[in-house]
Amino acid sequence: MKIKWYWLFKQVVIGPFLRVYNRPQVRGVENVPATGGAIMASNHQSVMDSFFLPLLIPRRVTFLAKQEYFTGEGIIGKLQRAFFLSVGQVPIDRSSGDAARSAIETGIGLVREGKVLGIYPEGTRSPDGRIYRGKTGVARMALATGAPVVPVAMFGTRKANPIGTWIPRPAKVGMHIGKAIDPLEFIASRGLDRDSYEAARALTDRIIETLVEMTGNDYVDRYAADVKASLAAGRGYPEGTAPDPGR
The pLDDT tens digits along the chain (247 residues) read 556 777 887 888 888 999 999 999 999 999 999 999 999 999 999 989 988 999 999 999 998 877 666 777 777 777 667 767 666 677 776 555 576 788 899 999 999 999 999 999 999 999 999 999 999 999 999 999 999 999 999 999 999 999 888 788 999 999 999 999 999 999 999 999 999 999 999 999 999 999 999 999 999 999 999 999 999 999 999 999 999 876 6
Whole-number Å distance between alpha carbons of 158 and 150:
21
pLDDT, residue 87, reads 64
The Cα-based distances of 164 to 78, 127, 159, 168, 169 in angstroms read 19, 11, 12, 11, 13
CA distance 61 to 226: 28
Q: Give the Cα-Cα-Cα angle 173, 174, 176 (nearest 5 degrees).
A: 160
Residues 6+ apart with CB under 8 A from 196: none
> Residue 138: enclosing H or E segment and its boundaries?
helix 137-145
Q: What CATH number should be reported for the domain whose range is 25-67+95-232?
A: 3.40.1130.10
- pLDDT score, position 74: 79
DSSP letter for each residue of 159-207: HHS-TT-SSPP----EEEE-PPB-HHHHHHHTT--TTSHHHHHHHHHHH
Tally Cβ neighbours within 10 Å of residue 23.
13
Tell me the Cα Rg of the chain: 18
Angle between helices 137-145 and 197-215 (to 10 degrees): 110
State the amino acid at position 77 in one-letter form. Answer: G
